């Protein structure tokens, strides 16, 4: 075609017919009479593959163009360490093992053995100490009384508690509360190991 010449609709249809007739001849010669089952204007498998490749490449380019803050990358890789929290936990552990702190802390549990016979008191005391160990308690109070109502002998339960504490491996340092309100000599606190 020469520049400035225009094709009319008849010329276009003639070219289309020529193209189709050549195409049909080629198919007949090759022995294939293919019928397309695809929808009109639907992309072929090759076109879909090319489009997917382009999308993948475009996504790769977009990902590569993203700039990551070096600090953000470091934090993602190594995480953070809360030094204040670690120091606080260490302080609590040290405080719990510090003898002076344990002696001055208030008892976390108490048992009252008043009015019990020696066998009953021993059994309850043993169960109480076992339970406190399981619960992770550090300091307990054992109320045994001063023996005011005991006739003719020394206070029975006070002596029983003292011997129990000396023999039991779960019991550590012990003593009497300083004030009468806390029990005085009628009670004994024990730090559990």
CATH of the domain at 136: 3.30.1370.110
Residue 136 lies in a domain: yes
- pLDDT in the model for residue 126: 92
Give the domain extent around 151. Answer: 106-192
Q: Tokens 């702190």 appear where?
A: 101
Residue 172 lies in a domain: yes
Residue 141 lies in a domain: yes
Q: For the chain, what percentages of helix, strand and coil (3-state, to nearest 5) are there?
A: 55, 10, 35
- Number of folded domains in the chain? 1
- pLDDT in the model for residue 173: 84
- In angstroms, the CA 158 to CA 148 distance is 11
Residue 113 lies in a domain: yes
Q: Which residues contact 118 (CB under 8 A, 6 or more apart)?
A: 156, 157, 160
Residue 178 lies in a domain: yes
Residue 119 lies in a domain: yes
Residue 188 lies in a domain: yes
- In angstroms, the CA 119 to CA 71 distance is 68
Question: Residue length, the chain?
Answer: 193
What pTM did the predictor assign? 0.48
Which helix (H) or strand (E) element contains residue 121?
Answer: helix 118-135
- pLDDT in the model for residue 127: 93
- pLDDT in the model for residue 104: 76
Block mean pLDDT (10 aa), the chain, length 193: 64 84 73 58 77 79 77 83 88 75 82 86 91 90 74 68 88 80 78 86
Residue 161 lies in a domain: yes
């Amino acid at each position: 075609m020469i520049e400035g010449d225009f094709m009319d609709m008849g010329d276009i249809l003639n070219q289309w017919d020529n193209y189709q007739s050549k195409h049909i001849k080629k198919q007949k010669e090759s022995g294939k009479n293919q019928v397309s089952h695809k929808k009109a204007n639907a992309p072929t498998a090759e076109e879909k593959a090319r489009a997917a490749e382009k999308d993948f490449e475009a996504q790769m380019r977009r990902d590569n163009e993203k700039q990551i803050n070096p600090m953000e990358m470091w934090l993602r890789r190594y995480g953070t360490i809360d030094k204040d929290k670690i120091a606080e936990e260490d302080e609590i552990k040290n405080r719990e093992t510090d003898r002076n702190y344990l002696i001055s802390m208030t008892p976390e549990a108490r048992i009252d053995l008043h009015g019990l016979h020696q066998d009953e008191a021993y059994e309850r005391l043993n169960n109480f100490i076992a339970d406190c160990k399981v619960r992770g308690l550090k300091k307990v109070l054992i109320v045994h009384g001063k023996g005011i109502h005991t006739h003719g002998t020394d206070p029975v339960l006070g002596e029983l508690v003292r011997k129990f504490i000396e023999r039991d491996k779960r019991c550590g340092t012990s003593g009497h509360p300083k004030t009468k309100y806390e029990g005085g000599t009628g009670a004994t606190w024990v730090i559990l190991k």
